[in-house]
Amino acid sequence: MQPPPRKLDPLAAFLTYLVPGLGQVMQGRIGKGVLYFVCLYGLFFYGLKLGQWQNVWLADTKNLPEVQVPRVGELPGLFKDLNYRKEFIGQFWIGVAAWPAVLQYLSTDPIPSPARDDGEWDDKPGHRVFGKYMRAPSESHLNDLQRDGNKTWDLGWVFTVIAGALNVLVIYDALAGPMVREETPPTPGGAK
């Protein structure tokens, strides 16, 4: 006997993108949803802590030289920024936890360009709501983080990227729904 075809659940997938495990909780798989939430947010925020809360950001590269991509040419706007900070493509998939970086990127508040080397990153005003949380650091501040610290800054952004990449799998789990096993038909004669 064939199991009925499964229906995709895009609302659960979207909720899981917003907050890992929320779609599974909505589907009634509460234990699995809480497990995903605790593990993925634990990994993401532990990575942020290792990176001194400064390793999730999206760069504004309008003052940097143009990037030439083979067979494509110059990259426009956001694509150039993502090319400069490829890590954010993975970090973005953790959902609302990475949105402050997007808001900092889109903010009209004065944010120093990563290309500027004025060393005054800490003196600049931050976002109205988020302050300097997930704001792109200046190049000199970034160099200080990498030179004066140990490897935990780099390890931290790796953890945040892994958390985002794992959430893609959790999103798929919410989209496809729970696994349904095929029922085995009873054998004739009652043999086990």
pLDDT in the model for residue 115: 45
Which residues are registered as beta bridge partners of 74? Answer: 68
For residue range 48-81, what is the model confidence (pLDDT) as tens digits? 999 888 889 888 776 666 656 665 556 667 777 7
**CA nearest to 16, candidates 97, 89, 133, 88:** 97
Q: pTM (2 decimals)?
A: 0.78
Which residues are registered as beta bridge partners of 131? Answer: 127
d(CA 145, CA 22): 35
Task: Answer whether residue 37 shows pLDDT above 80.
Answer: yes
| Torsion of the alpha carbons at 91, 40, 137 and 86, rounded to the nearest 10 | -20
Q: Which amino acid is at 111?
A: I
pLDDT in the model for residue 116: 45
Provide mean pLDDT across the span 161-176.
96
- Mean pLDDT over the full length of the chain: 81
pLDDT in the model for residue 135: 83
DSSP 8-state class, residue 124: S
**CA nearest to 37, candidates 116, 97, 108, 118:** 97
pLDDT higher for 140 or 10? 10
94: Cα within 13 Å, side-chain hemisphere: 29
